[in-house]
Structure 1
Amino acid sequence: MESIKIELAKNPKVKPTDENSLDFGSVFSDHMFIMNYTKEKGWHSPRIVPYGPLSLDPAAMCLHYGQEVFEGMKAYRAENGSINLFRPDENFKRLNLSNDRLCIPEIDVDFCIEATKKLVEIDKEWVPSAPNTSLYLRPFIFCHEPNLGVKAGDEYLFVIIASPSGPYYKEGLNPVKIYVENQYVRTVKGGTGMAKTGGNYASSLKAGVEAHEQGYSQVLWLDGIENRYIEEVGAMNIFFRINDEIITPELSGSILGGITRKSVIALLQKDGYKVSERKISILEVEDAHKNGELKEVFGTGTAAVISPVGILKYNDNVMEINHQEIGELSQALYDRLTGIQWGKISGPEGWVVKVS
């Protein structure tokens, strides 16, 4: 692979002065990484340039047929000033799974990690240090070939942008209210649910709007065939603690394999918990709640890390979980994961990658 060319911004932006009031994903750093793909040359011309608009032909295929994938990851400012990435290899491996499903050329994982590290190093002053803040990183690939024929494209752009961000949920670690969707379908096995692509999120917007109108933060999706088995929440995977068993839906082809999900399972298993990746129906959850066996429910994802669920609504059944308080396990997992990410405690080998 070619070396990365660097063009520094001549007029740096004014950085946010109050890191404690940062929103999620609305402010962007000075630079971005870009790399091109053509059928003749493969991936080429890697460069870091000043952040700015991208020029697209009106016939760019991504605008018409949705050939696009993305990832979400973070850079964390440790107490000693160093900067960490959390399992970036897993993010870029997952990006390649999405690439395969959307007929996008594979990227080199090691090179992408180095490109990410270089971008973060250049924009290191944008990595916030206030509690619960981080530099959110968004790698994405899209087909920009101008062609209205329905086919896999021959020209792509791979871009990484960076955004200093606060908590994804304004509630922070306070339990959120989740609405179980039983009318709309997000995806089915054989579709694109296992890929991180924009179409999955576009199809979820209608249900999200209706859930917000009822005062709920997110939508919990059921399977698209029987409309009974739990899949995932719009922006995170989901876990249920029923008695001494911790259950999360199995990766059946319609659920995104979350990096935080994978990390939580590894930590729980190491600590000796009984963790099951299996089908779990909404009726099983209702019965467990009715019988007092549903101890905790929490979501996992890069953006929120751990998100305790305090209310789960299915049809007319509003289930209060753990008195709408943070569960012991949810709190412990949050403390442990963020401790690893911010370099306060050690984690499994290879999970933290130092930038500087």
Structure 2
Amino acid sequence: MTANELTIVKSTNLKPKPEKDQIPFGSTFTDHMFVMDYAEDKGWHEPRIVPYEPVTLDPAAMIFHYGQTVFEGLKAYRADGDRILMFRPEKNLERLNRSSDRLSIPPIDEDEVMNHLEELIRIEKDWVPATDGTSLYIRPFIIATDPNLAVAPSKTYKFMIILSPVGSYFSGGIHPVKIKVENEFTRAVKGGTGMAKTAGNYSSAYQAQSNAYKEGSADVLWLDGIEKRYIEEVGSMNIFFKINGEVVTPALSGSILKGITRMSILELLRDWDVPVVERKISIDELYEAYERGEVEEAFGTGTAAVISPVGELNWQGKKMTINNHEIGELSQKLYDTITGIQRGNVEDPYDWVVEVK
């Protein structure tokens, strides 16, 4: 057996699966997980699928002290005929390596990991729920494990993939949400880690999000960290606006995550001949367009919700009510198309779905 040959250890204590109408989001985990280690003299080695279990780390492991970690999020869906489909998984592995490069983490072999991921899902296929709006959430992540307090990149790492059956992100279907425009805190700046999917980007947003919740908003709209003028992202989602017939989304500037759903939305809109542009857009420009009655729709995009319509934006005491708090026609069409492709109910001319056979 070579150091890179996959080994499989099956669990002898299988867990009960959640009832189809009682699947929480992100707190139930399957019977097995994928693990692979890295050392400077071996590279990535000993890929294995083992029973899901706690991880033991040295208290000095660098992940605890300096946050050197990256992660991804994607989903598997149960389609007609009991087929298991993943949505553009190769893009998630590409992005994982881009994030790793920014965090000085050695790259994985994307093709090799894709094969291991498919094997893990084959083993756990009974965990993929079938109810509408449900899926199997896939969380790949890498953590620094070197027991060393020196401020430098780790010399050892652990790469893992865990799986979680999840219910619909929205109970009762998608519905427009209220968003607070954040003026005090900063999410990221060009040259920082905003373009990487790394833990600190999310925990540093908690305080702003907590303040937004207290004010009745579901999330925050982040502005750029330099001028506090230009729109960037909503929470963990990219953002789109339909203004006077044209769809506008902030251009990737080095501080914005390159979302897989964002990419798919742009490809769909261009294929449908809907005017769409990636550019800088300021909150002042958006408000002026709103005052002229030109802001027709707004929506966030991401793996968890796919499309999250925005019904209201609150900025410095000014309230922007969008499309009368109703889901826009374009938002609904995009949601129906992408979720239909993900579940195999809508033709996939783009080869976005990968079937796990």
Q: Could you state the TM-score of these two structures normalised by the residue count of structure 2?
A: 0.98
Among the aligned pairs, what percent are the same residue? 57
How many Å apart are 1:36 and its aligned residue? 0.3
Q: Which residue of 2 aligns with 1:84?
A: 85
- Residues 246 and 276 in structure 1, CA contact (< 8 A), matched pair in contact too: yes
Determine the structure 1 residue equivalent to 2:156: 155
- Cα deviation for residue 347 of structure 1 reads 1.8
Instruction: Answer yes or no: is the 8 Å Cα contact 1:245–1:273 preserved in 2.
Output: yes
1:119 equivalenced with 2:114 (yes/no): no
Q: Does 1:223 pair with 2:216?
A: no
Q: Is the 8 A contact 1:84 1:353 kept in 2?
A: yes
The answer (yes or no) to whether the contact 1:260–1:300 under 8 Å persists in 2 is yes
* Partner residue in 1 for 2:11: 9
Amino acid at match of 1:16: P
CA contact (8 A) 1:73 1:137 kept: yes
| Distance (whole Å) between structure 1 residues aligned to residue 284 and residue 355 of structure 2 | 45
One-letter identity of the residue aligned with 1:186: R
Uncovered stretches (5+) of structure 1, i.e. residues with no partner = none
CA gap of 1:171–1:254, structure 2 versus 1, over 3 A, is: farther
Q: Deviations over 1:231-252 (max 9, x none)?
A: 0011210000001110000000
1:71-92 Cα distance to aligned partner (Å, 9 max, x none): 0000000022100010011000
Question: Structure 2 matches for 1:186-197, cutoff 5 A?
Answer: 186-197=187-198
Could you tell me how far apart the structure 1 residues matched to 2:195 and 2:231 are?
15
Q: Distance in 2 between matches of 1:185 and 1:176?
A: 22
Q: Any idea what SS the aligned residue of 1:112 has?
A: helix
Contact between 1:20 and 1:131, CA under 8 Å: does it hold in 2?
Answer: no
Q: Is 1:335 the counterpart of 2:356 in the alignment?
A: no
Question: Quick one: distance in 1 between partners of 2:32 and 2:244?
Answer: 49
Deviates more, 1:1-10 or 1:81-90: 1-10
CA distance in 2, matches of 1:169, 1:138: 20
Aligned to 2:321: 320
In 2: Cα distance, 1:348 partner to 1:127 partner: 24
Q: Which residue of 2 aligns with 1:30?
A: 31
- TM-score normalised to structure 1 length: 0.98
Question: What is the CA-CA distance between 1:170 and the residue it aligns to?
Answer: 4.2
Secondary structure of the equivalent of 1:253? coil
After superposition, the C-alpha distances for 1:217-236 in whole angstroms (9 at most, x for unaligned) are 11110000000000001121
Aligned partners of 1:3 and 1:313: how far apart in 2?
Answer: 54
Q: Give the Å deviation of 1:112.
A: 1.4
| Alignment check: 8 A CA contact 1:240 1:247 kept | yes
Could you list the per-position Cα deviations for residues 102-125 of structure 1 after superposition, in whole angstroms to 9, with x for gaps in the alignment?
Answer: 000001111111111111110111
Question: 1:53 offset after TM fit, Å?
Answer: 0.3
2:73 maps to: 72
For this pair of structures, how many residues does the alignment match?
Answer: 355
Query: Partner of 2:295 in structure 1?
Result: 294
For 1:139, give the aligned amino acid: P
Question: Which residue in the other structure is 1:54 paired with?
Answer: 55
Aligned equivalent of 1:241: 242
How far apart, CA to CA, are the structure 1 residues paired with 2:101 and 2:172?
A: 36
Corresponding letter in the other structure for 2:14: P
Q: RMSD between aligned alpha carbons?
A: 1.0
**1: distance between equivalents of 2:36 and 2:166?**
25
Instruction: Give CA deviations for 1:135-164 in whole Å, capped at 9, x if unaligned.
Output: 000000010110000001110000000000
Displacement of 1:215 after TM fit?
1.4
Distance in 2, Cα, partners of 1:70 & 1:58: 21
Are residue 284 (structure 1) and residue 285 (structure 2) matched?
yes
